[in-house]
């Protein structure tokens, strides 16, 4: 009798565990949506990084080293005076900061909208955690990202 109960409990626990694992697994559709979101966000990140690099290179009004020097002190008029910053230099750095801040706000807004309206926060977090915890899901994710970017992938 004890043996029958033990077997029944084991079967029941195995069934519950299998259903829970299946429920927690990432579907191809969820993975695709997550990959689309990440790919879109990477494009925005790259664009912002390129913009930052362009500003850091300066122009005929400001050298790269001068830009780097003035960037951390741009809101401190005393330090700007000590650094003998010109009006053109100050305007350039402030314009750069404003444009980079706008790009960051666009990124954040886009992130929130994509996650909320396209993939859903629960699914986003589920897939993100699965990629970090499960090598098979991570491999599937990279295949999907490559597919989105038109990169041929050998799938075995």
pLDDT digit string (tens) for 3-20? 666 555 565 556 544 444
94 to each of 21, 78, 87, 97, how far by Cα in Å? 52, 16, 10, 5
pLDDT in tens, 70-111: 999 999 999 999 999 999 999 999 999 999 999 999 999 999
With contact defined as beta carbons under 8 Å apart, do 68 and 91 qualify? no
Q: What is the pLDDT of residue 151?
A: 78
Phi, psi of 62 (to 5 degrees): -155, 135
Q: What is the per-residue pLDDT for 17?
A: 46
* pLDDT at residue number 23: 46
The pLDDT, as a whole number, for residue 18 is 45
Phi, psi of 129 (to 5 degrees): -65, -40
The span from the CA of 38 to the CA of 124, in Å, is: 10
> What is the dihedral sign for C-alpha 113, 119, 123, 125?
negative
**Span 20-75, pLDDT tens digits:** 444 458 999 999 999 999 999 999 999 999 999 999 998 888 999 999 999 999 99
Residues 103, 122, 38: CA angle, nearest 5 degrees? 35
More confident residue, 2 or 117: 117
Question: What are phi and psi for residue 67, nearest 5 degrees?
Answer: -55, -50
What is the C-alpha to C-alpha distance for residues 128 and 120, in angstroms, rounded to an integer? Answer: 12
The DSSP H or E segment spanning 47 is helix 28-56
**And the tokens for 29?**
């559709």
Average pLDDT over residues 133-146: 94
pTM higher than 0.85, yes or no?
no
| Predicted confidence (pLDDT) at residue 128 exceeds the cutoff of 80 | yes
| pLDDT at site 61 | 85
């Amino acid at each position: 009798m004890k043996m029958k109960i033990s077997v029944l409990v084991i079967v029941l626990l195995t069934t519950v565990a299998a259903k829970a694992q299946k429920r927690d697994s990432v579907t191809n559709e969820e993975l695709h949506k997550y990959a689309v979101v990440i790919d879109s966000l990477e494009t925005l990140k790259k664009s912002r990084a390129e913009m930052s690099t362009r500003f850091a290179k300066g122009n005929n009004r400001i050298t790269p080293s001068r830009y780097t020097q003035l960037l951390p002190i741009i809101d401190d008029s005393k330090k700007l005076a000590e650094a003998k910053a010109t009006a053109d230099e100050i305007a350039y750095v402030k314009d750069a900061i404003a444009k980079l801040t706008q790009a960051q706000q666009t990124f954040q807004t886009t992130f929130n909208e994509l996650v909320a309206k396209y993939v859903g926060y629960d699914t986003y977090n589920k897939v993100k955690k699965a990629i970090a915890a499960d090598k098979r899901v991570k491999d599937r994710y990279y295949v999907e990202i490559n597919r989105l970017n038109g990169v041929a992938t050998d799938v075995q």
